[in-house]
Every structure is written in structure tokens, then in C-alpha cells.
Amino acid sequence: MNIKGKKEIINRLEAFLLERLPDSLTGKAPEMEKRYRACFGSGDFSAEIRKIRVKTVRLYALLALSLILLFGATAVKLMLPAERLTSLKRPDYGSGGGNAAARLEAEYKGERARQEVTLRILPEDLDENAKKARLKKTAGALEALILGENSSLRDLKHDLSLIRKDEETGVEIAWSMDPPEIISEEGKLNFIKGRAGDAVTLTAKLTLEDASGIETLNAVLGKPPEGRDYGGNLRTEIAELLKKINDAGDGAYLRLPAESNGVRLSWQEPPKRFYTGEILLLLAAAAIVWKNRYSAVEKRIRKARESVAGDFPEMINKLILLLNAGLVVSSAMEKIAINYEQRADTGNVKFLYEELLKMQARIRGSNASFIEELGDIARRSGVRELMRFAGVVADNIGKGSALSEKLQTESDLLWNSRKKKAEEQGRIAETKLTIPMLLMLLVLVMITIAPAALEM
């Protein structure tokens, strides 16, 4: 299938979903059109409204597909039979052990119990031969382990690295020196108390595992009565069994018994995880999409009003110049609109001047009132300064020079307001830069003190 065919299928699917989904989810077209008309006046906004709604449909489709995949993955996991466990690999000696989750099912004389358990897996216990081998290995490598920057123990020039434990074998080491004043327990050399040629004996006590003790308890169990409830006994047996398993350390694997004191045991993997967190996250994302379904419309309206506020001071200045040159206000506004049309940049559309062009077209086409059209633009823009300007023009349209003077005062107020706004934005930008500057300062401080810290 070529690219054109794939696009056609996608467009049909989008159209299908757009028709089937409620307007309350994708945004009501009449509501969007109402908002557009309140700002941009009459016109055909159907294409833009459809584009916004299709974009919202795509977001819903993506979220729905993600939910389907999560539910599918969960269903597959739940349908697969749980793998039976017979043993768990022990971690290497000296690693500190670990934990493993499992599901235990127990049955005895019709009584059943199921429990999710966490097993503690201790490292493998070493027999006497293994311990001796590790001690011998550490003893053979001891000199190389403690030399540090020295080339030989027969010519010590630098401090020794007297380790307390051989991480490879798990052997713990305790040090003693004779005489002790020349080399400290930390391996520091004392060249004041010691002279070249002085001999020092280093004694290392190598230890692997602590001594352990065993306590034995003896008990005699009688025959239970008929019809006895074994539920409590079964739970007690499980607790004692888990303690015994968690404390076991012999063998390369942790063996999970199939029977204990006549109780049949069945071990399984823990239940499959349900993607609750991910699903809630997707539902929250869908709620955010629904909440912002009109955001594209509001963004365009806000951008148009910001454009009016930015271009209005410049337009006032042009109008003042033309009024002082002898033009009446309606002719001056028409001149400004025509000049914009001649020099308009397609990549930089200005909402205020576009509205002036439309106003001139309506005046020429239907002989509409200049004052009413200007007031309509001001009301739809929602910009307070433009509404005040429309009022000033309506009150002074026939007064000539008086209108020019009032507009000059209005221009001065606008430029002062614009200057204050720019200063405020500058302060906000300065505040936002505070955290990056602090991070840069912190990096410089760390770079400065790093050499001194490394030498300590």
C-alpha cells in the first residue's frame, strides 16, 4: 500500500471517530465557533475547528491504544500458568544475600491455605575445605593487596594500604605491628621514629565467618482427635517452615520442600502485576486532554489580542502623523490599512491591520458606519486601550486638531505603559535566570575546591 492509500485510511478512521465520539470530549463545534466569532467577527472557521477536533481525536486514540496494550499484556500474563518453583539460586558468598517473592499453597486433610511470602536467601555456607582455600588465597595475595604505591615490602617509601577485608574471598583481616611506633594500624609510616633499615613485623589475623552455636529442643506429639480443625496448626506450620527456610544457608540452591511434617506444599511465582499505575496515568492524561480541548482556540485568541496590544501604539503614531498632515480620521485609517496591505508579509500577519482591511472592505461594500465598525473591532479585540481609542474617535471625529491632541496624549500613555510592561517582563526573566546562575555558581565552587578535596 502506498503512502496516499495509508493517508486515506487514516483520514477515514479519524472521520469515523470524530462522528462517533461525543462533542463533549472533542470540543463542541458551536462553542468553538462562538469564541472565534467573539474575537474575529463573522467568517468561516469550520476548517480550523475540524483541524483542532481531529488533533484531539488523535490524542484520545493514542491513549486508548496504550490502554488496550496494557490490558492485553495484563491478560496474557494472567492467562499464562504460574511456573512451579523447586529451587532458588543462592547469591555468591559475601554478597549479603537477597529476597525472593513466591506464592505458597499448602493442603492437609482437606484444609487449604494460600499465602504470598517473601523468602530470604542467604549466601551459600562454606565447608571447612572451602574456608581453608579462601584463607590460603588471601594469605598468598596479602603482600600485593597492602603494598599501595610501594614496589616491595623490603623498601617502604609510601604508606601501606592495610585493608580490613578481602572483598574477593570475604576474609576479614586484623593487623598488629612490632614495633608499633613505626607503622600505625592504618598503615601510616613514621620516618621520625623509624630510620632506614629498621625492621617491622606485620601480623595479619585472617578470619572467615564467626563461630556459631546450636540449641536443640525435644518434643513428643500425640495423635490428634478426629474432626480436628487444622487451620491454625497449618498457619503455625507455615510460619515455622518459612523461618527454617530463611535461616538455611547450606547448598548452592535454596531448596523449597514439597512436604513438611505431612503437609503437602506447592510453590509458585507471585501473582502477575496489574498495570494500575500506568492505567491511572493514562486516564489522567485523557482528563488533561479533555480539559484542554478548547485550548487551541483560546491560544489563537490570546495571540491575536497580544498582537493588537503590541501594534496599537505604532498605529496611533501613524494616525497622528496623517491627521496632522490634513487627512480626516476615516481617510487616515484607510491609508494605514492600504499601506499595510501593500507591504504585508505573509509570514507575519498582524491581527489589528487585518481587521482594519476588513473594516474598509465592509465600508466600501455596504456603506457601513466607520464609527460602528471601529467600535465593533475594539469590542471583539478585548483590548482596553483600543476600546478607549474608539470612544475618543467617536466623541471627537468632527473636531480636527482637538482629536490629534487627544490621540497624542493617548500615544504617550500607551508608550509609557508598554515601557513599564517591558521592564516588568525583564524583571521576571531575571528572576527565572536566578536558579541557572546558582547552579553555575555551584559548579564553579565544586571545580575550585575539588583539587584541595582530592589532596586531603
Tens digits of residue pLDDT in 358-392: 888 888 888 888 888 888 888 888 888 888 888 88
Distance CA(115)–CA(235), nearest Å, equals 10
CB–CB of 312/378 below 8 Å?
Answer: no
**Does the pLDDT at position 410 exceed 80?**
no
pLDDT band at 284 (very low <50, low <70, confident <90, very high): very high
The answer to whether 190 and 177 are in contact (CB under 8 A) is no
pLDDT digits (tens, 9 = 90+) for 314-353: 888 888 888 888 888 888 888 888 888 887 665 677 888 8
CA distances for 441 relative to 110, 122, 385, 426, 449, angstroms: 72, 47, 44, 22, 12
List the Cα angle 139/144/150 in 5-degree steps: 140
Q: How far is CA 338 from CA 307, 329, 342, in A?
A: 19, 14, 6
- How far is the C-alpha of 329 from the C-alpha of 363, rounded, in Å? 14
Burial of 236 (0-12, 13-18, 19+ CB in 10 A): exposed
Name the percent of the chain lying above pLDDT 90: 2
In the predicted model, is pLDDT for residue 444 greater than 80?
A: yes
Distance CA 173, CA 437 (A): 49
Point out which residues pair with 201 in neighbouring strands: 178
Task: Name residues whose C-beta falls within 8 Å of residue 367's C-beta, 6 or more positions apart in sequence.
Answer: none
The secondary structure of residue 174, as a DSSP letter, is E
Mean pLDDT of the chain: 79
Where is average pLDDT lowest: 28-32, 336-340, 373-377, 408-412?
408-412
For cell 518453583, the residue is: 85
pLDDT digits (tens, 9 = 90+) for 174-187: 888 888 777 777 88
Choice among 51-55, 63-67, 154-158, 353-357 with the minimum mean pLDDT: 154-158
- Signed CA dihedral, 355, 358, 363, 364: sign only: positive
Distance CA 17, CA 13 (A): 6
Omega within 30 of 0 (cis) for the link into 179: yes
Half-sphere exposure of 432 (CA within 13 A, CB side): 6
- Going by C-beta distance under 8 Å and a sequence separation of 6 or more, which residues neighbour residue 392? 403, 406, 407, 410
CA distance 65 to 138: 59
Q: Which long-range contacts (CB under 8 A, 24 or more apart) does 160-166 make?
A: 160/187, 160/189, 161/187, 162/186, 162/187, 166/138, 166/141
Q: Name the grid cell of 185.
A: 594500624
C-alpha cell at 13: 478512521
Phi, then psi, of 268 in degrees rounded to 5: -140, 165
CA distance 225 to 220: 16
| 171-178 sheet: strands from edge to edge | 165-166, 171-178, 201-207
Confidence of residue 213 (pLDDT cuts 50, 70, 90): very low
* pLDDT of 54 strictly over 50: yes
d(CA 146, CA 165): 11
**Which sign does the torsion angle of CA 301, 306, 311, 312 carry?**
positive
Average pLDDT over residues 257-277: 79
Pairwise CA distance, residues 39 & 386, whole Å: 13
Q: Which residue has the higher pLDDT, 213 or 4?
A: 4
